[in-house]
Structures are given as C-alpha cells and as structure tokens.
Structure 1
Amino acid sequence: MIKSSYSVIGVMSGTSLDGIDIAHITFKFNGGWTFKINNAETVSYTDFWYKELSNLVNQDLASLVNIDTNYTIYLSDAINGFIKKHQLNTLDAICSHGHTALHQPDKGFTYQIGNLKQIAELTKQNVVCDFRVQDVKLGGQGAPLVPIGDQILFSEYDFCLNLGGFANISFEKDYSRKAFDICPVNIVLNHYSKKIGFDYDAYGNIASEGQVNLSMLNELNGLKFYQLNFPKSLGLEWVNSNVFPIIDRYQLEVKNILRTVVEHVIIQINSVIKEKPNASVFITGGGVYNTFLIDRLKDFCQNEIIIPSEEIIEYKEALIFGLLGVLKLRNEINCLASVTGAKHNHSSGVIFYK
C-alpha cells in the first residue's frame, strides 16, 4: 500500500568494519521526501566477526554460505536488540544492505551476506534487502547505491562525498546523477594503523608526522582504475591485488605510509571536484574525523567543504538504505542506470514478509 509516512529501520555495514549502523527513521512524502532520524547507534563487531568479515574474500562459496547463515543470525540479534531498546512497536520494514562478501561486477557477480529470508523470520518484521544483485544482472556495477538518496535528500549540494572504506562521490551532470568510487581510504589507512597497534589513525595524527614518498605516491596515482571512465566501483579484492603490493614493496615506516596514502586520497578526490571550482562538497563517513585529511583537502582544493551534523556523518548510509527500502515497497525507482551502468533504471531489492 502506498502511504505518505513510513517508519523503518535502515541497516548498513561497510568495508571499514567499524560495526553495524542501525537507524530508526521516519520518512514523509508530500510532493517531496523529508526524513527524521529518531534513534541511531553503531553496534561494534566482536573480535570474532571482525576477523571473519576481514577474510571473506579468501573464502570459497561453500564457506561463505555457512558464514552467511551465521551472520544473518548475528545481524538479526543486533536489530532485535535495537528494536527492544527503543521500544519500536510499529515498523513498515527493516531495510538492510547486509555486508559485502564478494563484489566482482565485471564477472557479473556480487554477494552480500545477511540478506537471507531468515532475517525476516528472526526479527518478525518485513525486510527489504539484497539491493545489489538485480543491478548486476542488468549489466550494472551494483554500486554505488547511495546516490539516489543524495539526489532526493541532499540535492542542495553540488557534490556528495562519502569517506568510508572507499571514497565515493555523486553529483548532477548532463541532467542526470553520476556517481562512482574514487579511491580506497579507511580500508588502507586502518590496515596499516593496525600494524602499530591502533584500530585507526585518530584525527590523522600519525599521518601528520610522516613524510610523503613521491615514488610510491606516483605509483599509486598511476593505477589503471583512475583512468577508467565511470561507472566504476571498487572492492577489497582490488585493494589486495593492486594497492597493498605497491605499498608493501617500499617497506616504509607506518607514519610515512599513512602520510603518502592521505596525499594520494586528496589528489584523487581533487581530480574529480576541481571540475567545479567553488562548488559545495558535502562530506560524510568516518573519514570526516580524520582532521588531517580534511585539512589537507581544504588546502588542496578550491571548493567549499561542508561537514554536516554528527548524526548525518555517522548514519547517512543507513538513512539512505532506509529510503531505498521505502522506494522498493512503493515499487519506485531506487537504482539509477546513470550511476551503475545498468540497462535501465529499476526498483531493486528483495522483500521478505514477516
């Protein structure tokens, strides 16, 4: 049934593995969409699940199927805990991204765990999930999916930039939404921070003490991915094959690795946003808290950098997957061909009824 108001839970787990973002959102439609995030929190991964999810790309399909079942139970428990804590009695749906296990759109394949029908049975709620598979079947990248939310909810900004495991961006060009992954960010920074005992480089303090290695920087900037036209997307497999081998070959101190990677990130981001000098760049994701990276970007570019409220920084992706779920319930377009390269716009995702 088409309604003017929806109460949903948006759920997101990203490649940076900082946890499961869960947000209770009210969406209202009156000629346009408005939203209110009522409650939101991040459920940190246990050590077991952090290690398990870090190693997904090395698993065979049979192992992934087993992990999928166990992760669905784990995810359902986290969502049930959130529902109980906030006494949510009436929901239209849980709208969940799941967690990316494998992403190889060039081979026509993508796999998100935590999207089994079991999640609806365990939560006793309607669930909208598995948003990527249909797009890949239609010849698309299956990513990024957030740009339609940028278009609908944050259209006042020229660029919407997310700094998570990867940097991705969306913007209007030639009367349609364009979006793509720019480069890896936290997936690399966190990897090397852990080698010296830190989960991440808080505020970019370690990177700020390092020196740029120009040879490594030039080699990273020379990767073929950066020359490709969009649509294009990245996954951990690409980082393992292309980025880590370059960095490890130089055998640098971690502070110099982090400093060089930060420089690489801002160069790649600037290569996109410099097309519109003075344009507004709305930045979300955990990378916003890397103040050294943000300050370097401000120094490097000629754009207006806008940092929103902490609530939007932390939960924008959970918010937008909530919106994608609502659009699917209404059988409306929630996946843009101009972004993913699919054959046509479509309403993506699977609905499991309680």
Structure 2
Amino acid sequence: MHEEQKLAARTQQTGADGVYFGLMSGTSMDGVDGVAVQFRAGEAPRVLADAFVGFADGLRDALFALQQPGENEIEREALAASALAARYAVCCHELLRSANLAPASVRAIGVHGQTVRHRPEKGYTRQINNPALLAEMTQIDVVADFRSRDVAAGGQGAPLVPAFHAQVFGAKDETRVVCNLGGISNITVLPPTRVRAASRGDDGGHAAAADSGAIRGFDCGPANVLLDEWAKRHLRAPFDERGRFAASGTVNQTLLNALLAEPFFEQAPPKSTGRDLFNSEWLDAKLAGFEAVAPADVQATLAALTAVSVAREIERHAPGCRAVYVCGGGARNPELLKALERALDRSGVSGVPVMTTEALGVPAHHVEALAFAWLAMRCVERAAGNLPAVTGAAGERVLGAIYPR
C-alpha cells in the first residue's frame, strides 16, 4: 500500500471528525494566518472562519535577530516565544468569535511555530513557540513541534504539506503541481490519482512505472524572503505591493545567472532550505560587482530567480503537469505569477497555466494553516503525517507533541 493511500485509509478508519484550528507564521514573519476547520471522514475540510494577526515591529525584530547567533540567545528566544504565543492566542480568540465556537468544542490547535534555524543536515530544526502558554491562554489542546520527529527519523522535516495537498488537490486524470510561494518556494507534484492507484495495483495490477505514482515535494529556493528584503531597503515598505516595484524594472540576465549559480538549485530532492541560506548576507554577497544595477532591476531579477528556480524543478520532476496552482503570500503578487508563467513557457513545459488554489476552491492564504490543522488532527488520531518519499525519513511517523489544555 502506497504512503498516501495509507494516509487516506487511516483518516477513514479513525473517523477523524471535529473542529481544529490551524496556525501558520511563515518565513516572511509578517504575522500569523489562522483557520477554524471542520473535518469529517470522507468529506473535504470545511473552513468555518479565518483570521490574520500581524506581528508588532518589536516581535518581528526579535525573530529576525534569532536567525543568527548572538548574545543571550536562550533568554531572547524564550521571551520571543512567549510573545509569539500571545499573538497566536489573539488569533485563536478571533477564530472562536468569528465561528461562534466555545473552546471546549475545538479538539486541538495545530501551530507551526516560527522557524529560526533549520539544519536537518545537523539533525535539528527549531520552530520557537510556547505551546504550554498557548494552551493556558486558550484552554484548548495544542499540537506543536511537527518537524522534529521527521528529522529524528532521518528526514528533512520539510516540506510537510504535500500529504495534505494530496488529500485536497489531486485529480484523477492529470498531473498537478501545487506551488507555495511563501518566504521560500516549494512545490508538490501530484500525479493522477488513477496512476497512483495503478502503481499500487489497486486496479488489478495494470502496469505503471515504479515511481510514476509517487507524490514528490521539496523546496525550490527563495521567494518572498529576498523580495521583501529588497523592498524594505528601497521602498521602506514591508513588501512589494502587487509586484509593482519589480514590474518597473528589467531582468538583468547576468545577475540572474550569478544568483542561479547557487549549488542548492542543482541539489536533488529531498531538500529543504530557509533563511539559514537565503538571507540578506547571501544577497549582498551575490550582488558584489553588480552595484550599477538599478534597484528596480534587482527586484525584477529576484522575481525571475523565484520563477526560474521553480520552473526548472517542474521541468525536471513534473514534465507532464497540466496546471500549476499557487498558494502562499506570493499568490497575491500578479507580477510573480506572470514571471512563473513566462519561465514555464521558456522551459520544456510550455503552455502550462498558472493560477491560484482559489481555482480549486481553497483560498491561497488558507492552504498552509489548513495543512497544520490537518496535521494536528493526524497527531490526535495517532496517524502518520509525513510522506517519507518527500522528506527522506526512514518511514511514516506521527508528527507533533500534544500540550493538553
């Protein structure tokens, strides 16, 4: 039985009914997205409410500072984790109000935490949070620290959302790619469900290549993490609104080639990355010698870097894909979506449409928070949440630690 089939089967067996909250604060560190979602076995998840709670500048500064080694890190991390939990609690109370729910009616909160270090090659990943405080402030069970168990089993601990993508976005007769454009870009390759079934022998053993039914997912490179950094420097704004700054510039091909020379882009999956690699220091080092390039042209080139690095991975790992569905903050950047469509047209998968997951009935800003609500449900039901073929873990594992209310 294939991994994603086991995931679906266990969802049916456990009768995983209930309301869960999912909270996601990503690499962009601008705030937390939250959803209240109803899970019923055999049905699509139903979002009851959503909320966004921004981070104050002081909290964002503290989180950014923890990306690098510094003085008194243990205390600074503890204080930031408690401040973060307080913002998570505000989001949860907004979800309770919007969905007209009592805390006792919510089975659990699935909260990702804020990644400050991701070093699976050294055997650890660090998502700061204070889940005990969150449980105390909400009086709801909290499920947190999803990535560590996968890393302990030899995996990357990321990406974890492909298993959820397979549940909600797969199609019977076509290969689809789900592309998350958060701080970092990642893709999930979803082969046709009929091919996945054939490769498992569910249709009487009709032939399919051994890997043809395998779901794949991995990080591709930087997305908003560098675009936001450059916008802060030159626009004094947290991000490039609708990509207008990038649209005013022209891609510098020589600079783009220099950026694409980063070895990460040629690594084979499983692979994951974050601010440990793609940060302001990386960008400044790559820009050495390109001081004459206008700021708007740099922004246009950074958008092209995201688009080309994603398009190359789609060409390598999903050459037969019929559509690309985008989620994450980058889905609100029309210039970035156009750049991705152009990059695909110039690759070996030309003519592939790019649209947001809204086309599949799920708003782009809901997807990751929904995924962590789903992962919380899997943990509560003691069901596996990872796909070893995606993360490289030794096998399926129940992900997360539970903090009772």
Is the pair's TM-score, using the shorter chain for normalization, greater than 0.5?
A: yes
C-alpha distance after superposition, 1:234-265 (max 9, x if no partner):
11110135334213552232201111111112
- State whether residues 131 and 143 of structure 2, in contact with CA within 8 Å, keep that contact through their aligned partners in structure 1: no
Alignment of 1:7 with 2:56, yes or no, is no
Q: Which moved more, 1:306-315 or 1:320-329?
A: 306-315
Give the aligned residue type for 2:228. N
Q: Cα distance, 1:277 vs. partner?
A: 4.5
Report the Cα distance in structure 2 between the residues aligned to 1:179 and 1:124, rounded to whole angstroms. 35
Counterpart of 1:153, as a letter, is: V
CA distance in 2, matches of 1:179, 1:61: 33
Cα distance per residue 1:246-304 (max 9 Å; x no partner): 13552232201111111112211111222424522111111122211212222332212
Is 1:279 the counterpart of 2:322? The answer is yes
SS of residue paired to 1:239: coil
Counterpart contact for 2:52–2:91, Cα < 8 Å: no
Who is 2:256 aligned against?
217
Whole-Å separation in 1 of the counterparts to 2:267 and 2:258: 16
Which residue pairs with 1:320 in the alignment? 371
SS of residue paired to 2:249: coil
Quick check: 1:269 aligned with 2:310? yes
Distance 1:93 1:116 in 2: 11
What stretches of structure 1 of length at least 5 have no aligned partner?
Answer: none
1:306 and 2:316 are equivalent in the alignment: no
Q: Does 1:39 align with 2:49?
A: yes
Query: Aligned in 2, Cα 1:248/1:286: closer, same or farther, shift over 3 Å?
Result: farther
Aligned pair 1:233/2:272, yes or no? yes
1:211 aligns to what SS in structure 2? coil
Residue in 2 that maps onto 1:295: 338
For residue 267 of structure 2, what is the amino acid of its counterpart?
L
- 1:23-45 CA-partner distances (Å, limit 9, x unpaired): 11011113xx4111111021111
Residue 322 of structure 1 deviates from its aligned partner by 0.5
Question: What's the CA shift for 1:146?
Answer: 0.7
Shifted more, 12-21 versus 295-304: the winner is: 295-304
Other-structure match for 1:20:
32
**SS in structure 2 of the partner of residue 136 of structure 1:** helix
Range moving further from structure 2, 307-316 or 162-171: 307-316
> Residues 148-185 of structure 1: CA distance to partner in whole angstroms, max 9, x if unpaired?
10111111261111111111001146122211110101
Higher mean alpha-carbon deviation, 168-177 vs 287-296, is at 168-177
AA in 2 matched with 1:330:
E
- Normalised TM-score (structure 2): 0.82
TM-score, length-scaled by structure 1: 0.93
Deviation at 1:4, TM superposition (A): 4.4
Instruction: Say if 2:51 and 2:94, in contact at 8 Å, map to a contact too.
Output: no
Change (3 A) 1:77 1:249: farther
CA distance in 2, matches of 1:127, 1:17: 21
Instruction: State how far apart, in whole Å, the 1-side matches of 2:252 and 2:134 are.
Output: 47
Find the aligned partners of 2:327 and 2:190 in 1 and give their Cα distance. 18
Match of 1:167 among 175, 185, 188: 185
Counterpart in 1 of 2:240?
201
Distance 1:321 1:61, change over 3 A: same
Q: 1:210 to 1:71 in 2, by over 3 A?
A: same
Q: 2:65 aligns with which of 55, 65, 73?
A: 55
Which moved further from structure 2: 256-265 or 173-182?
173-182
Counterpart-to-counterpart distance in 2, 1:4 and 1:79: 21
Q: Which runs of 5+ in 2 are unaligned?
A: 1-12, 192-210, 345-349
Whole-angstrom CA distance in 2 between matches of 1:48 and 1:349? 29
SS of equivalent to 1:273: helix
Range with greater deviation from structure 2 (196-205 or 160-169)? 196-205
Is the deviation greater in 308-317 or in 91-100? 308-317
Q: Give the aligned residue type for 1:260.
A: T
Aligned counterpart, 2:287: 247
Q: Among all aligned residue pairs of Structure 1 and Structure 2, give the percentage whose two residues are the same amino acid.
A: 28
Assess, with a 3 A threshold, how the Cα gap between structure 1 residues 249 and 326 changes in structure 2: closer, same or farther: farther
**Aligned Cα root-mean-square deviation (Å):** 2.0
Q: Distance in 2 between matches of 1:215 and 1:305?
A: 26
> After the TM superposition, which parts of structure 1 deviate over 6 Å for at least 4 consecutive aligned residues?
none
Per the TM alignment, residue 84 of structure 1 is displaced from its structure 2 partner at its CA by: 3.7
Mapped partners of 2:90, 2:300: distance in 1 = 39
Structure 1 residues 249, 130: closer, same or farther in 2, change over 3 A? farther
Q: Does 1:116 align with 2:131?
A: yes
CA displacement at 1:189 relative to structure 2: 0.4
> What residue number does 2:155 align with?
140
